[in-house]
Structure formats: structure tokens, C-alpha cells
Amino acid sequence: MFTLLLILLLIFIVRKFCLKKFKSDKNVCVLVLGDIGRSPRMQYHAVSFAREGFTVDIVGYPGSSPMKEIVENPRIQIHYLRPPSELRNKLPFFLCYVIKVMWQTADLLWSLLSKRIPDTLIMQNPPAIPTIPVCWFYCVLMETQFIIDWHNYAYSLMALSLGKDHIVVKVARAIEVTFGRRATNNFCVTKAMKEDLEKRWAIHAKVLYDRPADDFHLITVEEKNEFLCKLAEKYALSISDSPRRSGFIVSSTSWTEDEDFSVLLNALQEYESACENEELNLPDLICVITGKGPLRDFYMAIVDLKKWKHVQVRTLWLENEDYPKILATADLGVCLHTSSSGLDLPMKVVDMFGCGLPVCAYNFNCLSELVRHNENGLVFADENELAQQLKMWFQDFPNNSAQQDLREKFQENMFTSQIYRNGWHGNWKLNVLPCFQQ
């Protein structure tokens, strides 16, 4: 017993020495258990911290290239986790999942313990397993502030594929409830989520609305023409700029269960039929879908069977600097995000608004916090409504004065509400920075 107490005392003394010597009051760890390059909000956090004089360690998986401001900023250091081995088709699901979680737990803990000791750790949720308990344990060990940025609920996303009664879904929910209450601070993406967290789980969160980064803005006609040439050369996608040119719509996705792309494909089928029947003087339509994900091949196989003559669907993975430009060049954006919880908002619409791109968005509970039908965008409930909106938007295109007036109205109202008047960093300084100045 005496030996055990002596060992514990020695560990306590060494821990206190390490914290005093190596811990920095101006160091923040930004963590996402996902591809850093495909986590814009967490990258924006990192850039904002760096702008305010913090040193930042951003931890996550490799894959897509992070923002230029991340890579070139001397105050930000990237720490990549090692992706677990792919065992999905080799072992039963539950055993595969357990091995994956064990790997992620060990790798995440090692990564956290082998870098600078932060004063604050801010993590993205979802995923909750094993991120939340591992980060909470690390923060307790290192006397670090533990902050959760709620983008959605992990358990609701998992329920889409596993069902709400699956044991893993129940564990995820229990983790979110238990450790969410123990966080030093919580941020979330909508007012609806804030109210739900407080009402159901007694978790007090502050709303930090998504805002587009500086790269997402209107561009000139010359810049559009230059980018159209780049699309043709680099991505083999030709869009005519002649007076009777094709319509150009864009949608971005992670190709996951929370976006039903059959809605868009069925709407495009109706548009194709209208063109075949020479209705409404419609132009041919080019639909570009950006993003990577597990369901891409499934939906593109359906497209390949269509043999459309007037509608062309292309999937692209764009470089970071090209994505804002394709949004600013398109005629209309389409968002199929439905939200597994009904409480988060699609970042893709925020980016489209930043580029002045009018949007047709799939309706769900709290979408009105961002898109208001016929005020700053169009909202649809099913494939038939989306098809009608596409035909209305492109009727007599590009010489429809009513459509041009509607486009100008939407652009004027995209960010008129008080919550959107500041850019990302201004909004961040009002809502996040005060938590670090107390």
C-alpha cells in the first residue's frame, strides 16, 4: 500500500511539474476526428485563434488539402492521426467497430499526449465515439478547458444507418449527454439546437452561426469567364458563355444517408422530359455535384442509366481555391441536406450565399434560421416542387427579367438578419473569444 501511494504521489508531482513547465495559456488544440480539409468550421476556428495571437495545434485525419491559411500560418501546426485499417468486409460489423474505436482511442490519446499541452481543447461533435470521452479524460489530466462545438448529434446520424434502438446509438447518446454537461463551454450551430440541448439534456450552449470565409464572395464577369476556361482545361467541363448557353446548377455533398439524391435525380428527369417536349423554352442543363463520400458510386450508376440528352450530371472534387469560384459562377445552387436531428444548418448554403448564389434548399425543421422561402431563396419539400423550381428558374433563360429580379431580391436578402451581418471572424470574436478572456 505504501509503495502504491508513493508511486501515485510521484506521478502527481511529475504531472504538476510538466503542466507548469510546458503548458501555455495561449495555446489551443482544435480537434476533429475526420478529414481536416473537409472540416471548414474547425479550420475557421483555427485561423481565428491564430489571428488573435494564439498558437494552434489542429488534430485530425489527412485527406483533402487544408486551407491555405492553415498550411502557411506559422502559428498553426497540423498533427495528422493515422487512419485505422479498413476491416468492413472482413469482420462482423460490431467487432469491426470495436477494433476501430480501440485504434482511434489509442492513436488519439498518443497524439494529444505527444504535442504541446494546450490551455483549451475545442472538439467537433459528431463523431462522439471515442472523441468526447477521450478528449474529456485528456482535459481532466492536463487541467485543460474542454469545449464541444456541436455541429449535429452523433447518435442521430448513426441512427440513420443502424436504427435508433441499436446499442451503439444508445451509447453515443449517453456519451453526448454525460460529457456535454461536463464541458467548460459548449457552442452550437443553431438557436433550435441550443434550445434542444437545454430542454432535453440541461446542456447550456452558445449559438455560433456558420458564416462564409473571405474566399466566398461575388466575382466579376471577367473572373467568371476565366474560371469557365479553367473548368474546361482542368476538369474537362465545358460551359458555353454564348447568349443561348446552358443552365448551370451546382450541389455539394458528402454522399451520406442524410442527403437523398434521388430527389434531385427525379427532378432532373422531369426537367429532361420538359426539354424533350419543348416546354417553357428551357435550356440544356449542366449539374455539377462536388464532394466525396460512400454513396457517390450508387447514385452515379443511376445517372449512367438515364441517357439524358438535355441534362448533364458531373461529379467533381475541386481544389480549395476553385470551390468558391464554381459557386460564384453557377446560376443556381441545390441543397439536399435534411439534418438527421432537424437542428443543424447546411454549411454549403452559407457558402453559396457568400458567393451570391441563389439556392433551392430541402425543407426541414430549423431551415428558416438560414433560408426563408421567396425572401432569400427557394424551399422545396419533394422532387416535384424542386422540378417546378428548376423549370421556373430556367424558363426563357437567360433573358427572363422576372427571374433576374428574383435573383437580385434573393441576393439582397441573403444575409440581412442581424445574426449574419458580421463575417466569420467578427462573429467569432463576439461569441467565442470572450470565453478566453475571462
Instruction: Using DSSP, state whether 78 is helix, strand or coil.
Output: strand
Chain-centroid distance, C-alpha 281: 37
Is 263 among the domain residues?
yes
Q: What residues contact residue 277 under an 8 Å CB cut-off, 6+ apart? A: none
Claim to verify: residue 53 and residue 118 sit in the same structural domain: yes
Q: Which of 171, 161, 288 is nearest to 227 (CA)?
A: 288
Asked if 83 and 136 sit in the same domain, the reply is: yes
Q: Kindly report the backbone phi and psi dihedral angles of residue 72, in degrees, each rounded to the nearest multiple of 5, phi listed first.
A: -95, 0
Torsion of CA 176, 178, 180, 184, to 10 degrees: -150
Determine, yes or no, domain membership for 1.
Answer: no
What is the β-pairing status of strands 206-207 and 185-188?
parallel
pLDDT values of the chain reduced to their tens digit, one per residue, 438 residues: 555 455 545 555 555 555 555 556 689 999 999 999 889 999 999 999 999 999 999 999 998 889 889 999 999 999 999 988 776 666 677 788 888 899 999 999 999 998 889 999 999 999 999 999 999 999 999 999 999 999 999 999 899 888 889 999 999 999 999 999 999 999 999 999 999 999 999 999 999 998 888 888 888 888 888 888 888 887 777 776 655 578 899 998 877 777 888 899 999 999 999 999 887 889 999 999 888 778 888 888 888 888 899 998 988 887 878 899 999 999 999 999 888 888 888 889 999 998 999 999 999 888 989 999 999 999 999 999 999 999 999 998 888 888 889 999 998 888 765 455 567 888 899 889 988 765
* Residues 398 and 268 grouped into a single domain: yes
Percent helix, strand and coil across the chain, each to the nearest 5:
45, 15, 35
Give me the number of domains the chain comprises: 2
CATH assignment at residue 199: 3.40.50.2000
Give the range of the structural domain holding residue 83, as residue numbers without chain letter. 26-211+423-435
